[in-house]
């Protein structure tokens, strides 16, 4: 049996990006909610509870981004080159935000000074909100297409990338990640932080639902298929279920539902894109496709053996770390 390795690797990259959005999505949501949930007389204790809730896992979640980008570079070098050069400024902004966010997690507790911590808290919020919005902007533009010429060079400027469809995509990921993060904190904390997280989730759910509905309907209208319609229905149904479960205080099942909503939304993006990897707005003949952008069969074969060996180990290790740090975080743990 002949295996279509380019298609296999397109699916693998879609899975890696989906894993990144689901796992890092709640990290971003937690970071954006830091000043909302950590307030009042015990603001510093509650902010430490919020940060400690993701402390053992946030950097591990970013491994999915590194793996996804590395897989794009190895399996589809033309896709990697066109995407990361054409979206140079947005991706650079994401990189700066992620670096600042990582430094802030490590340095905010180095000095017992309120102004010092406030500056690093602002870096955490900025470093969470920017990627949450920009990744939606980037992938919406990838689905929509860019001004890609015959040489594989993206001619679209920054203003072209800020089109209405892409802005809706950015707002969708931003709202989804806030909801996902709020539900995660309701699941992972107790006391005042948990109560505020549940309230934040109830507030964020209608906003996320409206944004998701608008983005998915727009995507279906312009780039849809029966497969994307089924996935969009799954995403919207999961989000509605998550909102209902949050209202009932069932945060464990609500977190699973919002995770499914994010995964299904990511699947809609990649299903709408296939078999292209980067469509051209100038001429369909200039599209980068799964077949035309792929590496040589020998390279894909080697990658397949490496991925089959190491990816299960990464998943097992990360699953184990989540299990070890599964208990709720309270003020008693940070006092």
> Among residues 65, 216, 226, which one has the least CA distance to residue 135?
65
pLDDT at 328: 85
Handedness of CA 290, 295, 296, 300 (dihedral sign): negative
Instruction: Provide the whole-model pTM.
Output: 0.94
Left, alpha or beta for 199 (phi > 0: left; psi -120 to 50: alpha)? alpha
**For tokens 């060996």, what's the residue?**
309
What is the rounded distance in angstroms from the CA atom of residue 3 to the CA atom of residue 94?
A: 36
Cα–Cα dist 231/254, whole Å? 19
Distance CA 327, CA 64 (A): 24
Low-confidence ranges of the chain (pLDDT < 70): 1-2, 333, 335
Listing DSSP states for 151-171 in one string gives TS-B---HHHHS-HHHHHHHH
| Domain that includes residue 133, residue range | 5-333
Distances (CA, A) of 266 to 18, 211, 257: 6, 14, 14
CA 233 vs CA 72, 135, 169: distances in Å: 28, 22, 17
Spatial distance between the Cα atoms of 41 and 19, rounded to a whole number of angstroms: 37
Q: Give the end-to-end CA distance of the chain in Å, rounded to a whole number.
A: 61
Can you give the pLDDT at residue 87?
92
Residue-level pLDDT at 56: 83
pLDDT of residue 1: 54
Number of domains in the chain: 1
What pLDDT is attached to residue 143?
Answer: 95
pLDDT of residue 132: 96
pLDDT recorded at residue 125: 95
For the chain, the 3-state helix, strand and coil shares in percent, each to the nearest 5, are: 80, 5, 15
E strands, the chain, are: 276-278, 288-289
């Amino acid at each position: 049996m002949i295996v279509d390795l380019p298609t296999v690797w397109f699916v693998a990259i879609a899975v890696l990006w989906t894993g990144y959005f689901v796992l890092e999505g709640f990290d971003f949501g937690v970071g954006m909610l830091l000043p909302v949930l950590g307030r009042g007389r015990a603001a510093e204790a509650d902010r430490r509870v919020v940060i400690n809730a993701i402390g053992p896992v946030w950097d591990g979640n970013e491994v999915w981004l590194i793996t996804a980008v590395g897989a794009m570079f190895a399996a589809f070098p033309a896709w990697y080159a066109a995407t990361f050069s054409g979206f140079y400024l947005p991706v650079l902004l994401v990189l700066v935000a992620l670096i600042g966010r990582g430094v802030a997690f490590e340095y905010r507790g180095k000095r017992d000074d309120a102004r010092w911590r406030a500056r690093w808290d602002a870096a955490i919020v900025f470093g969470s909100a920017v990627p949450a919005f920009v990744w939606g902007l980037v992938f919406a533009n990838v689905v929509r297409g860019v001004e890609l010429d015959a040489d594989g060079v993206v001619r679209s400027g920054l203003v072209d990338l800020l089109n209405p469809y892409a802005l809706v995509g950015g707002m969708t990921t931003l709202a989804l990640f806030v909801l996902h993060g709020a539900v995660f904190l309701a699941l992972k904390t107790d006391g005042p932080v948990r109560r505020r997280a549940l309230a934040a989730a109830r507030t964020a759910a209608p906003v996320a639902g409206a944004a998701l509905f608008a983005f998915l309907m727009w995507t279906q209208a312009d780039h849809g298929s029966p497969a994307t319609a089924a996935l969009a229905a799954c995403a919207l149904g999961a989000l509605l279920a998550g909102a209902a479960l949050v209202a009932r205080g069932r945060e464990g099942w609500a977190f699973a539902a919002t995770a499914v909503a994010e995964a299904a939304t990511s699947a809609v993006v990649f299903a709408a894109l296939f078999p292209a990897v980067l469509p051209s707005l100038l001429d369909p003949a200039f599209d980068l496709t799964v077949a035309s952008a792929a590496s040589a069969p020998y390279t894909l074969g080697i990658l397949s053996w490496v991925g089959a060996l190491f990816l299960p180990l990464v998943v097992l290790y990360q699953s184990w770390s989540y299990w070890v740090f599964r208990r709720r975080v309270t003020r008693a743990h940070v006092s």
